[in-house]
Structure 1
Amino acid sequence: MTQPRMDTDATLRSAGLRVTGTRRAAYDALRRSPHQAADAVFRDVAASVPGTSLQSVYNALADFVAAGLVRRIEPAGHPGLYELRIQDNHHHLVCTGCGRVDDVDCVVGHAPCLTPSSTNGFVVQSAEVTFWGLCPDCRAAG
């Protein structure tokens, strides 16, 4: 058994999830490439777990989100994307040309980073900020 598999299995178990081939492969796919849509995770999983269905990958991703292992982000005009970076309050850069998504650290350093002009009685815990622009590759191709 390789070290990443043992790490993945331990991570899933510590979150109270049963270890299955699909869950293991989906979590490992996100380790290799963050900010993936479910379809991309499915393609990765199907290569290593024959017979896996798209629905089982969606179920695994939903289980990860519910267990607090994965964060789902939804940049406007893009499918939901999944990432493992959940321990901090970070934001995203999204390329308007190719759709590339990169992480960027919090603009202030602690949650919620931004303070609204009025909370309307809410206790604000976090803020999601998405920066839009052209990535270096799209600018160079421009």
Structure 2
Amino acid sequence: MADSDRLSAPGCWLACTSFARTRKGILLFAEIILCLVILICFSASAGAQAYSSLSVVEMILAAVFFVIYMCDLHNRIQFINWPWSDFFRALIAAILFLITSIVALVERGNHSKIIAGVLGLIGMCLFGYDAYFTFPFRQQTHTAAPTDPADGPV
């Protein structure tokens, strides 16, 4: 193995893991973990396996967006509008988790189904915050107008 390969590996690892320390990285990682816990709770519940498909799909989508942002692919692949895609993913997930959690809590199953319903409401809040945080118009930067006169200082 050449010295350049050995030296570039820590830099690549540092570049990839630096995203995990950002607010977006922490949100996506928390979404992945929460979806996994909800999946386990729904799978443990008798007769509630139909609800687990939402957490599987959202866990996979959150992992895909985590990898895309971590590897900086959102700047390399320009034909997809990543902020809008991420916004709609999080918004739809929040709405679907709200509906699924309410249905699971109203049916009054066993304890794992109730826990999954409550965690789904927490997931709804997490995905809703992610949708609010990634709203594309909110991220636009505003440049301040110059305050000095155009002809120079007086």
TM-score (norm 2): 0.25
Higher helix share: 2
Higher strand share: 1
TM-score (norm 1): 0.26
